[in-house]
Every structure is written in structure tokens, then in C-alpha cells.
Amino acid sequence: MKKIEQYLTSYAAYHRDPRNLTTHFFGIPLIVLSILVLMAQTSWQIAEVTINLSLIVVLFLSAFYLSLNRIIGLIMLVLLLPLLVVADILAAHYSWLLGVPLFVVGWVLQFIGHYYEGKKPAFVDDISGLIIGPLFVVVEWLFHFGFFAALKATIEAEVGPLKRHTN
């Protein structure tokens, strides 16, 4: 399995324009929420416990992120669990009526960002980009606040820093 540095470096190569990064800060959480809302529609009753597909996905993603880096994986888990609760509430009241528009808006933001970037989305070349995207957004926030400087330096040594724009 790849290391976190490899995944993030590969993903970062497609995301060096700050405008693209900004659209991802909004678009990716919307996409994740929309997918969780839509997946919450599929559930199973086991004894007296209801388990839905969104819970299974969050547990899988959290296990994957934890396997890459315990601290960052724990941060992802702490962020995904409340998102899961929100998704379950939204799914109970709005079902696909909210999930689909959130999904579309999230992807529109992604493609606007990649217009500025001048590059296609990372998942086009590597499907794992769909799983790395949420991780990347959180890690970029952590970098912004001065955390994980060594990881940031490793990534930037390979793909360069974010571009600066004067306009």
C-alpha cells in the first residue's frame, strides 16, 4: 500500500492553484455529504440496530485514513462522524431531494476549480483520488494552520508550493 505522502503528493500535483483549492474546500465536503445522504437510504435492520450504507462507508474510509496516519486518520474520523449524523438526519427528511443537488453543486465547484488549475481532476488518472480528495482538503487545512510541516515540505519538494496569483 502507498504511504500518505505518496497519495497526497500525487493528488497535490493536480491542485496547485489556490482558486482550485478554495473550490475544493467547499465542493468536496458537499460531495461527501451528498454521497452519505444518498447512501443513508440503503439500510438493514440487524436485531434492534439499523445499519445503513453511509455508516459502512464512513467506517471503511476511517479505517483507511487511520492506516495511513493515526493522527490525521483520527482527525478524519472526528470530522466524518458528525457529517454522518447530519447526513442521516437529512436523509430521513429529504432523501434524494437534497442529496442529488448537493452532489451536483459539489461537482460544479470541482470543475470550476479545475478550470482555473488548467488540469483534469486527479481521479481521472487514478481512481483513488476520489478517496484521497477529502483527506487532501483536511490536510491542506492543517497545513494552513501550521500543522504537519514536514509532510507539507515533502509534498512541496515534489510538486512545488501553491501558485501565487496577482489578480
User: For residue 46, what are the β-bridge partners?
Assistant: 49
Would the pLDDT of 166 be above 70? no
The predicted structure's pLDDT at residue 113: 93
Number of residues that make up the chain: 167
Q: Measured at the alpha carbon of residue 90, what is the angle toward residues 88 and 92, in degrees to the nearest 5?
A: 70
Cell of 137: 482538503
Q: Which candidate, 10, 8, 20, places its Cα nearest to that of 136?
A: 8
The predicted structure's pLDDT at residue 32: 96
What's the pTM? 0.91
Distance separating alpha carbons of residues 161 and 138, to the nearest angstrom:
17
Would the pLDDT of 95 be above 80? no
Range of the domain at 45: 4-157
Tens of pLDDT along 16-66? Answer: 999 999 999 999 999 999 999 999 988 788 888 888 999 999 999 999 999
Cell of 136: 487532501
Structural domain includes residue 163:
no
The predicted structure's pLDDT at residue 112: 95
Structural domain includes residue 103:
yes
Structural domain includes residue 166:
no
How many domains does one find in the chain?
Answer: 1
Categorize the per-residue pLDDT at 125 as very low, low, confident or very high, splitting at 50, 70 and 90. confident
Q: Would you give the DSSP letter of residue 2? A: -
Structural domain includes residue 164:
no
Q: Percent of the chain having pLDDT more than 70?
A: 98
**What is the average pLDDT score of the chain?**
92
Contacts of 39 (CB under 8 A, 6+ apart): 52, 53, 54, 57, 87
Structural domain includes residue 59:
yes
Q: Which residue has the higher pLDDT, 81 or 42?
A: 81
